[in-house]
Amino acid sequence: MILQSRLADRWLWACSRLARFDVAGFQTPLGPIIHTRIDLASTEGQSLLAHEMVHAEQMKRLGRLRFYATYLAQWQRHGYRDMPLQEEARRSTSRPQL
């Protein structure tokens, strides 16, 4: 289930403030949250969905709690750009900024 709503936009706004860069998508146990400004039929939207689906696979592989714990630990240790979970997801998309 893809969540795209004004409430989801507020969550992404909060994530963007914490991350200090624009967050257009976020993987939840229910499915990806995608900002309403993203047209899911566009190349950007399809690329973002592919990226978030890799995170969904990672969450399934690791389990929800371990995924989020690993994500936060990797972010702290490697930084967002270089963290292995992001690199794995980034390989699935042509959009390196995700």
By CB under 5 A, name the binding residues for Zn ion.
86, 89
* 67/86 with CB nearer Zn ion: 86
* 38/89 with CB nearer Zn ion: 89
Smallest gap from Cβ 65 to Zn ion, in A, equals: 18
Smallest gap from Cβ 89 to Zn ion, in A, equals: 4
Smallest gap from Cβ 29 to Zn ion, in A, equals: 15
* 9/88 with CB nearer Zn ion: 88
The whole-angstrom separation of Cα 20 and Cα 39 is 23
Q: Which residue is nearest to Zn ion (CB)?
A: 89
Given a contact cutoff of 8 angstroms between Cβ atoms, the answer to whether 42 and 7 are in contact is: no
Angle formed at CA 34 by CA 74 and CA 12, multiple of 5 degrees: 60
Backbone angles phi, psi at 91, to 5 degrees: -60, -20
Tokens encoding 60:
């399934």
